[in-house]
Amino acid sequence: MADGVLRLVEPPGGGRRCSRWCPCGPRAGTPNGARRSCSRPEGAVRTTRTSSGRVLGVLAVLIAAASAVNIWLALAVRGAAESGEEPVGDNRGIPAERSVRIRAEKRVLTRRVRHPAEVVAVPADALTLPPGAGGVVTDVFVAPGDTLEPGDPIVEIDGRAVFGLPLAFPLYRDIAPGVRGRDVEALQEALTRIGWGQLAVDGIYGPETKRAVAELYSRVGLSPEVVDAAELGSHDLVRQEASLRRQLERARSADSVDSLLVADLEDQLASTREALADAIDGSGPVLGAADVIVLASAVDVERVPVAVGDRIGAEPVVETSAPSLALEVTAPFDEVALLAPGDRVAAPDDPALSLEIVEVGRGGEGDRRIRLAVTEGGAGLAPGDVVVVEFVAETTGVPVVAVPAGFVFLDAGGRTAVLVAEGDEVRTVEVRTGRVIDGMVEIVDGLTPGTEVVAG
């Protein structure tokens, strides 16, 4: 066939009439359209023209179908050969070359995913004054290379020292005598952490807590702001309390006890002691909200961008790290459930690159942003580079019995089952399945490791 012409060769024998589709068929002018023998010699080629598109289409379909069958069979047999499995027949009428036997195995199922991560520039970590605080720097207590510990003074602003404390949250008001609340509890917890014994965490700014605050200043040679107006009045209350005690003792030990006098003296002594307690509670050091920067743990001072005489506000007081690089990657929420800060992440194309998760975004369904710190091997990276990262998205965590998903099916009764090979025989076994991870199905019940199963 060429150019849509189909040539048919007439077999030897001669004297035959052409079929009705022969171009030399009915002759014009022949009575009743009668046919007559074709005048072509024996063995001559007769031709007819047909649709080129139809012929090509039919041939293409036939070739594609044959190829698909051959490829399917080849893959089935080759897969068995490469894995050491033997093709077998079964009692369900499936040819041996179209059925593969494997053994159920027990292992940890893990699905790893890869995503592109972009290299981004990270500014230096820094400590800043609390919101709204500021003034003129009157002293600086740290220098580059120092290790800043919780409880250390950092700078002095307008003559007031600013400390780093491991508070659960920034102070929102001044802690002064008479103050009570959750912020006082946070201060008591922070002072206990930096070595002031076991302060009562009761939310009351009482004598023990005030003493600890005073020591916070005195140990570095500084003095806190003090509320002492009530303290001045308490001296008279102390003298009055002592006088009333002596009078009450004499009244009680008299030969003739005046019960009314004793009762009156007892009331006066109780009132004086209450006033004295109030006076003591109302005096002591003040820790201002602007005097504390939250510092959870020790940090190394990289740079001190302020000097005495500078007027500062929201600017950094101390930089605790140099500008660095990080990687940011976005992944679907169902792939990041196992990730947490501190986890290691692989860079399969750059084994020397060491990455650690520092942040995993939160939220509902949707993508999550993950930030990775470069801990080693990042010398050649630059902002804008893309690095492929790999991490575990799903795992059973422990070894489980599993088979490939293609070996599990629903039987005629709608039950989940597999075909188990026993010698040359194959039987259907009902199983209970668990998770499907990376093409493998966990078999919770019904199979043991090493059992031969068949896929047809």
pTM of the model: 0.46
* Residue 365 domain boundaries: 112-123+323-395
Residue 204 lies in a domain: yes
Residue 20 lies in a domain: no
Residue 59 lies in a domain: no
pLDDT in tens, 186-203: 999 999 999 877 788 999
Number of H helices, E strands in the chain: 5, 28
Tell me if 287 sits within 8 A of 134, measured CB to CB.
no
pLDDT of 448 higher than 80: yes
Domain closes at, from 395, 412, 435: 395
If asked whether residues 277 and 134 sit together in one domain, one would say no
CATH number of the CATH domain containing 439: 2.40.420.20
Mean pLDDT of 393-421: 94
pLDDT of 450 higher than 90: yes
Write the single-letter amino acid at 324.
Answer: S
Report the DSSP beta bridge partners of residue 355: 345, 374
Report pLDDT for 267.
87
If asked whether residues 131 and 185 sit together in one domain, one would say yes
Distance CA 455, CA 420 (A): 9
How many Cβ atoms sit within 10 Å of the Cβ of residue 38? Answer: 19
Residue 47 lies in a domain: no
User: 213 in helix, strand or coil?
Assistant: helix
If asked whether residues 305 and 181 sit together in one domain, one would say yes
CA 172, 174, 177 angle in degrees (round to 5)?
135
Report pLDDT for 265.
84
Report pLDDT for 281.
62
Residue 22 lies in a domain: no
Tokens 């990730």 correspond to: 339
Residue 353 lies in a domain: yes
If asked whether residues 143 and 207 sit together in one domain, one would say yes
Strands laid side by side in the 110-122 sheet: 344-345, 354-360, 367-376, 324-332, 110-122, 386-395
Residue 195 lies in a domain: yes
If asked whether residues 329 and 274 sit together in one domain, one would say no
Pair of tokens at residue 20: 């009705």
Mean pLDDT of 434-451: 95
How many Cβ atoms sit within 10 Å of the Cβ of residue 405? Answer: 15
If asked whether residues 142 and 193 sit together in one domain, one would say yes
pLDDT of 252 higher than 50: yes
Report pLDDT for 61.
38
Lowest mean pLDDT among 69-78, 269-278, 315-324, 394-403: 69-78
Report pLDDT for 280.
61
Distance CA 281, CA 234 (A): 10
If asked whether residues 195 and 311 sit together in one domain, one would say yes
Number of domains observed in the structure of the chain? 4
Report pLDDT for 123.
83
Tell me if 106 sits within 8 A of 444, measured CB to CB.
no
Residue 46 lies in a domain: no
Of the chain, the end-to-end C-alpha distance in Å amounts to: 41
Report pLDDT for 16.
44
Distance CA 294, CA 282 (A): 27
Report which of 280, 162, 171 is spatially closest to residue 230, judged by C-alpha positions: 280
Write the single-letter amino acid at 24.
Answer: C
